[in-house]
Amino acid sequence: MSAQPPTIPLLTPHKMGKFNLSHRVVLAPLTRMRSYNTVPQPHAILYYSQRTSEGGLLIAEASGVSDTAQGFPDCPGLWTREQVEAWKPIVDAVHAKGGVFFCQIWHAGRVSNSGFQPNGQAPISCTDKPLTPQLLANGVDVAQYTPPRRLRTDEIPQIVNDFRLAARNAIEAGFDGVEIHGAHGYLIDQFMKDQVNDRTDEYGGSLENRCRFALEIVEAVVNEIGADKVGIRLSPFADYMESADSDPKALGLYMVKSLNKYGIQYCHVVEPRMKAVGDKIESPDSLLPMREAFKGTFIAAGGFDREDGNNAVAEGHADLIAYGRWFLANPDLPKRFELNAPLNKYNRDTFYISDPVVGYTDYPFLETTA
């Protein structure tokens, strides 16, 4: 009989409300652009089920809350009957393997162009400040954005309502909950960050006003599906898509303290070292003050490997660690961490291609030896 290796912190259980997670290695939300015409496809059944482990938490890719929410080709949605029906077998497959499955609900705001919008209209935002063209992940193509149209104050409740309906649809599709996408320079983040939000109504100016839209969405979603089914993702320190804040510490703390009032299940925060997309930098900032102020489960993401994920859990910096690129390329990531096995390398060139297999479901599992 061989001795059992000591359990590493990442593989210890964590109780997240009613969910008994068997380990702390979370699948981060990953846009894969393979949901043709905004409808999730059967190939996603295999993709998500490959990444499911008994008692593991998975967060599905950003899914649009309405026909104005999209900003990239072939991202899934949650506003039509067809989309809801198409999610069901995917969610069922994750549940069949014992996974806990939340869906990220998203509005791109000004990170869009008229080609993705109904009737070719301008994207909506908190502002009419345009976003400068951005280099895409392949390092070659440049995305062009249409100058956004500033939402009128009286239009904002409709967008809040879209998040509420999308959350209801997610639950109808079978998801265990939703993650409100408040990160990465998309609509909610555009409202929160003072370098974007230039409004003079009750949704702009003070920290309280800039966070009002996010918190109204949280409240509406909590009232619709219950606080135990709600998480949120935030990236106060990031400046993706020209969405920066002059005082990210204050923003992060204000948000987590406000979230406590709603008793949501988790807060998922992107590490300060991920200031720019995909690049890890040295940062003097820490998520610890946010972690200490938040009463629910705290998930950290961004640039983690096995070693610093273990350290973050052991030192109490986070309850759970979300892995993006490593989980994309290693469907059996928790198993590999358990065995300290080598990892498949990820291939950026296939992150966002529309192939239903290549770079999607063809990353190999560890060879199993009898």
Ligand X SMILES: Cc1cc2nc3c(=O)[nH]c(=O)nc-3n(C[C@H](O)[C@H](O)[C@H](O)COP(=O)(O)O)c2cc1C
Residues annotated as part of the active site? 186
Q: CA-CA distance, 62 to 55, in Å (whole number)?
A: 22
> Quick check: helix, strand or coil at residue 321?
strand
Quick check: 104 binds ligand X (CB under 6 A)? yes
Phi, psi of 276 (to 5 degrees): -115, 155
Could you say which residues in the range 43-102 bind ligand X, by CB under 6 A?
61-62
> Quick check: helix, strand or coil at residue 179?
strand
Task: Give the nearer residue to ligand X in terms of CB position, either 123 or 309.
Answer: 309
Interhelix angle 207-225/156-173, rounded to 10 degrees, is 40
Quick check: 184 binds ligand X (CB under 6 A)? yes
Shortest Å, Cβ 20 to ligand X? 24
Q: Which residue is nearest to ligand X (CB)?
A: 324
Quick check: 28 binds ligand X (CB under 6 A)? yes
Q: CA-CA distance, 244 to 227, in Å (whole number)?
A: 28
Interhelix angle 156-173/81-96, rounded to 10 degrees, is 40
Q: Exposed/middle/buried for 91, CB within 10 Å: 0-12, 13-18, 19+? A: buried
Shortest Å, Cβ 159 to ligand X? 18
Q: CA-CA distance, 115 to 344, in Å (whole number)?
A: 36
Contact range with ligand X by CB under 6 A, out of 26-34, 107-115, 212-220, 361-369: 26-34
Task: Give the nearer residue to ligand X in terms of CB position, either 179 or 204.
Answer: 179
Number of residues counted as binding ligand X (CB under 6 A): 22
Site string for ligand X, 316-335 (x = CB under 6 A): -------xxxx---------
Task: Give the nearer residue to ligand X in terms of CB position, either 192 or 199.
Answer: 192
Task: Give the nearer residue to ligand X in terms of CB position, either 23 or 181.
Answer: 181
Quick check: 107 binds ligand X (CB under 6 A)? no
Q: CA-CA distance, 149 to 202, in Å (whole number)?
A: 18
Sign of CA pseudo-dihedral 189, 194, 195, 199: positive
Contact range with ligand X by CB under 6 A, out of 81-89, 142-150, 255-263, 295-303: 295-303
Shortest Å, Cβ 284 to ligand X? 19
**In the block, residue with structure tokens 């060879």:** 367
- Contact at 8 Å (CB) between 118 and 67? yes
Could you say which residues in the range 236-275 bind ligand X, by CB under 6 A?
270, 274
- Which pair of tokens denotes residue 161? 């309502």
> Quick check: helix, strand or coil at residue 62?
strand
Quick check: 183 binds ligand X (CB under 6 A)? yes
Q: CA-CA distance, 47 to 204, in Å (whole number)?
A: 40
Among 302, 309, 331, 334, indicate the residue that binds ligand X (CB under 6 A): 302
Contact range with ligand X by CB under 6 A, out of 4-12, 37-45, 283-291, 299-307: 299-307
Shortest Å, Cβ 235 to ligand X? 8
Q: Characterize the bridge pairing of strands 100-106 and 57-64.
A: parallel
Task: Give the nearer residue to ligand X in terms of CB position, either 40 or 303.
Answer: 303
Shortest Å, Cβ 318 to ligand X? 13
Of the candidates 301, 235, 232, 233, the one whose C-alpha atom is nearest the C-alpha of residue 262 is 232
Among 301, 312, 320, 333, indicate the residue that binds ligand X (CB under 6 A): 301
Task: Give the nearer residue to ligand X in terms of CB position, either 27 or 204.
Answer: 27
344 phi-psi bin (left φ>0, alpha ψ -120 to 50, beta other): beta
Among 26, 29, 79, 176, indicate the residue that binds ligand X (CB under 6 A): 29
Give the binding site for ligand X (CB under 6 A). 28-31, 61-62, 104, 181, 183-184, 233, 270, 274, 301-304, 323-326, 351
